[in-house]
Amino acid sequence: MRIGLVLSSLPAYSEVFLDNLINTLNELNHEVVLFVNKTEQSKYKSIRVYKIYKSGNFDRLTNLLKNLILAALLKPKRIVYVLQTGKGLRQRFRNLVKSSHLIWHDLDWIHYGFATLAIDREEVGKIMNCKTSLSIRGYDIALYTLNNSKVYLKVWNKIDKFHVISADLLEQAKFYGLERDTYRIIPPAIDISSLPMPSFKELDQKMLFRIVIVGRMNWKKGGEFMLEVLFHLKKKFDIKVDWIGHGEDFERLAFARYQLNLVQDVTFHGKLPQKEVFEIINRNNFLLHLSIQEGFSNAVLEAQALEVIPIVSDAEGLPENVLDRATGFVTKRLDLNHVISVFEEISQMDTSDLRQMARRARTRVVDHFSLNMHLQKFGEFFKR
């Protein structure tokens, strides 16, 4: 099948789930074509990328003209059909601009990488006579609905199939009007073979809390709250923290680290190549991941596969990623006292119980979140 994957831009460093989806579709012998709003240099050599624009208004105009000319030559009726969607002239032209890079292609299936990308493009599948699907992710449901709870009502009715990454997000999608049952929960997966073998973890009381934090430095990851937790933890235990990731909140976190007197205890490594990320995760005992908003998190899966025990918040999909007290610990979101009490509980636990928990977590990830499972589930999802 020729599948058009619609994204806002090419997958960024931290969007491993999109890379996985592209690789999975390739593995399933589908021809993948990427459609992005804006792009710089593509890292995919064998995949064609079509864009609305590269950068700047001039480029936007020339690309739009190019796309419209191609559509007028190859599929002129589709321009007319797109112009019949939406209310008002302005909205109709906006819809045409948003779909201009798509409509002149022959595709069997269009998959929107985020639900937000299907807004104003709901009719495109029908116009192009192909099946449509979309992925419902954390941002789509948790954040995009904050200002408009009815934003997806039209989308739910026009799209054929829905991929959702966690049961929690499915519940939220239902809350925001999804009534159809053509959905499938397919959580993210990781490539176990790309990971090193789990190292032996020193879980002795003296240096128990060797902690790693992995994630983009933005508010969603709860970085400032995690530093607050570490500040209180330091009063009771010896801690050593490796923090991998960078982002727009770097100064905010660096300042909190300074004010909370954690500069010696928390090392910021910045953005690292994947191999080094795995090495650093592997040398720690716990992964701290107290997100305020989180769809599912690949980093938490990777930590579990490396037998690093996750301590996560109960944001969206995280309690499905980590089974509380079976494969890690789930804490209440933004509840400092609860997080500290969990750390106290861990400090009282037998080393053997912690090791068992870590092994159980790895087994579960291998059994349920491997790329093979992913491949199988997406294979079924993209069956006509």
Phi, psi of 214 (to 5 degrees): -125, 125
Report the nearest approach of other proteins to the CB of residue 22 (Å): 27
Rounded Cα–Cα distance for residues 205 and 283 (Å): 16
Which H or E element spans position 285? none
Minimum distance from CB of 299 to other proteins (Å)?
A: 20
Cross-strand pairs, 190: 370
Q: Are 159 and 180 in contact (CB under 8 A)?
A: no
In the bound state with other proteins, the residue whose beta carbon lies nearer, of 293 and 370, is 293
At residue 311, what is the residue type? I
Burial class (CB in 10 A: 0-12, 13-18, 19+), 348: exposed
Amino acid identity of residue 310, one-letter, is P
User: Residue 198 has what DSSP assignment?
Assistant: P
Q: Are 101 and 69 in contact (CB under 8 A)?
A: no
User: CB of residue 292 vs other proteins: minimum separation in angstroms?
Assistant: 7
Q: In what order do the strands lie in the sheet with 266-270?
A: 266-270, 239-244, 209-214, 286-289, 309-313, 329-331
Residues 139, 145: Cα–Cα separation, whole Å: 9
For the CB of residue 279, give the shortest distance to other proteins in the complex, in Å: 26
Minimum CB–partner distance for residue 262 and other proteins (Å): 12
Residue 181 or 251: the one with the smaller Cβ distance to other proteins is: 251
Residue 90 to residue 115: CA distance in whole angstroms: 22
Q: Which amino acid is at 135?
A: S
Residue with tokens 């796309």: 67
Contact residues for other proteins (CB under 8 A)? 142-143, 146-147, 219-220, 224, 228, 231, 249-252, 254-256, 258-260, 292-293, 333-334, 336
CA separation for the pair 176, 186 (Å, rounded): 20
Residue 122 tokens read as: 């709901």
Minimum separation from the CB atom of position 152 to other proteins (A): 17
- E strands, 220-275, are 239-244, 266-270
| Closer of 63 and 293 to other proteins (Cβ) | 293
